[in-house]
Structure formats: structure tokens, C-alpha cells
Amino acid sequence: MKILVTAKRVTDPDSKIVIKPDGSLDLDGVDFRMNYFCEIAVEEALRIQENLDDVEVVAVAIGDEEATKEVRTALAMGADRGILVECDEAKLDSDLVARILVKVVEEEEPDLIIMGKQAVDGDNNQVGQLLAEYLGWPQATFAYKVELEGETAAKVQREVDGGVETVHLTFPAVITTDLRLNEPRYASLPGIMKAKRKKLDVFEPDDFDIELEQKVEVVGYKAPPSRQAGVTVDSVDALLDKLANEAKVI
């Protein structure tokens, strides 16, 4: 069985993102790391590998050359092989990422794709679903628990509005991860050493005959409206007074 996982490079969620006066983003000095939801995806694939014979885990990233680091991190966690599709990240949108992944899937023919439900930079929450539709595959987004039935199907519990839904998928299929699917492991030192020798192929969109034509384009960024500074109240009575007489919400 072969599992394809994604390892997207994103800004560290704890970094402050500054918007320049011209409306572009200042990412100088910002730290980068693997998208947390992708780490969960890599972890889930590795757990499946540990439970079954002969599972190959291939990690793929699409982005700048720097994204090699995230592929290496996935390899250090335990993935067997890496792929980087190198391109200018600023020229991508969710749809292009999905269409590039379609090409990778055609090459690799995985039985299962596990990826993050969203990347914590763009927060689009689209690529897994787009990819599944382009491939004509079933999907289970927002996975909370994945139970394999041999190597050909899975029951997936999903975090949805109002509870946890269970769906049954016949492979090949796409699964996108939610926060509570697992707790991703850290790469061990031997893992990091081993990762250096693992195979990592680099492609360009040209190799797949894909033109980087965006369907969705960001034309500018701005800061969200900031809230008026509030006041500190010193007692429950003072709070109740404010809520009743000023905010008029009770």
C-alpha cells in the first residue's frame, strides 16, 4: 500500500505577520515550519505503516526551494521518500496546488492521500476537496479517527457541526486531518540523520505541463479592524452594572 502525505511550509503560528504600507506582507524574520495539520497527516500515515506490512509513505510539498526543509522533516519523522514541486509560492492558489497534486498522484498512484484540512496561513480549506473531485475519489475531511479495513477501505470519524459523523470510504481516497486525529511525533536525532540519505525528487510545474494561472488572486492585505480598548472592572457588581446599563446585554 502507498500513502501520499503533504508537508506544507507555513509561517509559524506564533509569529507576528506585519502588513507593509503598500498592502503586501512583511515576512522577513518570520519563522517557518510544517503546517500543523500536515504534521498530523504524516503521523497518521506513519501509524498506518506501523500497523500493516509493506506500506510506503511518500511526502510531498509544493512551494519555494525552502520547502525542502518541510519535506526533510516529514522524512525525519519517518516518511520513506520525498517530492518537492518547486515553484513560486506567491503564484499559487488552492486550485493550482490541487492540479499539481493530481499530476503527482498520476505518477505515484497512491491508495490513500492524507493531508491537512487547511494550511494555517491561507486558511482556505479547499485543496483536499478539490483534489478528490479532480481525481473522482471519495473524501473524508476533518478526520478525527481513521479505522482502516485492510488496505482497501476505511471508516473515518469526522468533526462536523453538531457532533462526530462517520463515513465509509473505498480506496483510493483523500482524508484531511483535524486537530484531534493524533499527536504528531517529533523527529528523532537518528531520524534526522537518516532523512538526509532518503530520496527527495524535485520537479517543476513545467515537468507536468502546468501553467501557473491563478483562478483566485490576492490583490491586497489589510489589518483587521482593532477593537476599542475596553475597561477593567473591579467587581462582579461593577460588571453587572456595565452589562445592564452600558452594553445593555442583560
Cα–Cα distance measured from residue 8 to residue 127, given in angstroms and rounded to the nearest whole number: 12
Among 93, 100, 181, 187, binds other proteins (CB under 8 A): 93
Instruction: Give the residue with the Cβ less far from ligand FAD, 44 or 95.
Output: 44
Distances 121 to 15, 34, 42, 45, 62 between C-alpha atoms, Å: 11, 11, 19, 23, 14
Rule CB under 8 A: say whether 120 interacts with other proteins: yes
SS3 of residue 153 by DSSP = strand
Restricted to residues 35-54, the positions that interact with ligand FAD (CB under 6 A) are 36
Rule CB under 8 A: say whether 240 interacts with other proteins: yes
Q: How far is the CB of 120 from ligand FAD (least distance, A)?
A: 5
Rule CB under 6 A: say whether 15 interacts with ligand FAD: no
Cα–Cα distance measured from residue 19 to residue 16, given in angstroms and rounded to the nearest whole number: 10
Q: How far is the CB of 161 from ligand FAD (least distance, A)?
A: 14
List 173's β-bridge partners, or say none.
Answer: 112
Among 121, 185, 194, 212, binds other proteins (CB under 8 A): 121
Rule CB under 8 A: say whether 237 interacts with other proteins: yes
Restricted to residues 140-179, the positions that interact with other proteins (CB under 8 A) are 140-142, 144, 155, 157, 159-170, 173, 178-179
Quick one: DSSP state of residue 226?
P
Quick count: other Cβ atoms within 10 Å of Cβ 55? 18
Rule CB under 8 A: say whether 190 interacts with other proteins: no
Choose the contact partner of 136 out of ligand FAD, other proteins, none; CB within 5 to 8 A by kind: other proteins
Total site size for other proteins, rule CB under 8 A? 82
- Enumerate residues 6+ apart whose C-beta is below 8 A from 183: 43
- Enumerate residues 6+ apart whose C-beta is below 8 A from 208: 85, 100, 103
Among 25, 120, 192, 212, binds ligand FAD (CB under 6 A): 120
Among 69, 103, 185, 242, binds other proteins (CB under 8 A): 242
Q: How far is the CB of 151 from other proteins (least distance, A)?
A: 15
Rule CB under 8 A: say whether 16 interacts with other proteins: yes
Buried b (16+ CB within 10 A) or exposed e, 116-133: bbbbbbbeebbbbbbbbe
CA angle 23, 27, 31 (to 5 degrees): 155
Rule CB under 6 A: say whether 23 interacts with ligand FAD: no
Rule CB under 6 A: say whether 239 interacts with ligand FAD: no
Rule CB under 8 A: say whether 22 interacts with other proteins: no
Rule CB under 6 A: say whether 13 interacts with ligand FAD: yes
Label the pairing between strands 173-177 and 18-19: unpaired
- Enumerate residues 6+ apart whose C-beta is below 8 A from 245: none
Residues that bind ligand FAD (CB under 6 A): 13, 36, 120
